[in-house]
Amino acid sequence: MDLTTTYMGMQLRSPLVPSSSPLTEEIDNLQRMEDAGAGAVVMHSLFEEQLIMESYELHHHLTYGTESFAESLTYFPEPDRFRIGPEEYLELIRHAKERVDIPIIASLNGSSLSGWTDYARLVEQAGASALELNTYYVQTDTKVTAEEIEQGYANMVHKVKSSVNIPIAVKLSPYFTNMANMAKRIDQAGADALVLFNRFYQPDINLETLEVQPNVLLSTPQDIRLPLRWIAILYDRINADLAATSGIHNAHDVLKMLMVGANITMLCSVLLRQGINHIRCIEEEMRQWMEKHEYESVQQLQGSMSQKNCPNPNAFERAQYMKALQTYKPEWGRIYEPSYYYG
């Protein structure tokens, strides 16, 4: 059974790739993922804002009160003499490359154009096999247009791609007016792969403390529907490879994503719930299904149920929406009139 796949020019032993999460912060975990059968690993994200904040905080504590004793300033080294910045992250990449044989994909979440390019060069120099650009951008200025936002994404990808020689993937959100057009623009800007989709964590309100607080919700198997649709639509329409993420919890989820055209499938929530060794279970279930249905390789699966190749291409568009509404039966058995569906 041939489970190998290619992703951004890299030959992977399996399409099962742990995505960026707290699990990928430890080298021991990266080794366990390799032993369990992972084809590659995406490291946890390096956040530009966090590095800037740490630098400001250190400078504040070193200089606080020194204006009262001017001569004391000469005893303190400048902040750039300390290990401020991405050094710890870069060191992790170097050690990971020494300890594991599978590709190590760095993850970067920038907030400025210079940050994206500068840190991209650093992770390349540290030995990362590839770089995933983890885009998270919430625009609140009512004067900024959708075109300006989308052009900003394309410019950033073009600049990063021009700055490094390693392949880059772009992890996008689905919140664009025309996702197909946006995918094409990012592809043309130089992205080697698209990762669909980034799950934005939305804030919540604590009613006791009256504070806005983070709220992390792990994915469920139902979350595969959105990336499944768009990977199916984009397959063979763009040059970039396609990585599926969100809601992939078992072998059936992996197989579906491969069939609509994904090169790899990323695992996060299921590993946080079930543990790293669950990669073995998913792979074994994949092998059993493929053997039962007489598939000899992942390549035979890829794209076979994409919009381009499936028997009913309209199933991924509006026709499926209407069919879903017309065939749904309420769980309690009550029959709605057609107008209720659209109310």
Residue 109 belongs to domain with CATH number = 3.20.20.70
Domain annotation covers residue 15? yes
Domain annotation covers residue 40? yes
Number of structural domains (the chain) is 1
- Grouping H, G, I as helix, E, B as strand and the rest as coil, residue 241 is strand
Domain annotation covers residue 315? no
Residue indicated by tokens 């929406």: 321
What is the reported pLDDT for 74? 47
The type of residue at 232 is A
Within the chain, how many helices (H) and strands (E) appear? 12, 12
**Residue 193 in contact with residue 242, Cβ under 8 Å?**
yes
The whole-angstrom distance between residue 149's C-alpha and the CA centroid of its chain comes to 20
The type of residue at 16 is L
What is the reported pLDDT for 54? 42
Domain annotation covers residue 314? no
What is the reported pLDDT for 236? 95
CB-side neighbour CA atoms (13 Å) of 182: 22
Domain annotation covers residue 326? no
Determine phi and psi for 286, rounding to 5 degrees: -60, -45
Q: Which residues of the chain have pLDDT under 50?
A: 54-84, 339-343
Domain annotation covers residue 327? no
What is the reported pLDDT for 27? 95
Domain annotation covers residue 321? no
> Could you list the residue range(s) of the whole structural domain that residue 299 is in?
5-308
**Residue 260 in contact with residue 305, Cβ under 8 Å?**
yes
**Residue 167 in contact with residue 9, Cβ under 8 Å?**
yes
DSSP character at residue 192: S
What is the reported pLDDT for 331? 65
Q: Which residues pair with 169 in a beta bridge?
A: 132, 193
What is the reported pLDDT for 338? 53
Say if strands 10-12 and 5-7 run parallel, antiparallel, or are unpaired. Answer: antiparallel
Domain annotation covers residue 199? yes
What is the rounded CA–CA span in Å between residue 219 and residue 305?
Answer: 24
Residue indicated by tokens 């956040």: 47
What is the rounded CA–CA span in Å between residue 281 and residue 251?
Answer: 8
Q: For 121-155, b where at least 16 C-beta lie within 10 A, e where not — what string?
A: ebbbebbbbbbbbbbeeeeeeeeeeeeebbeebbe
**Residue 38 in contact with residue 277, Cβ under 8 Å?**
no
What is the reported pLDDT for 83? 37
Distances (CA, A) of 279 to 34, 170, 246, 283: 10, 24, 16, 6
Residue 202 CB: number of other CB atoms within 10 A? 9
What is the reported pLDDT for 81? 39
> Sign of torsion, CA 8 9 10 11?
positive
What is the reported pLDDT for 49? 59
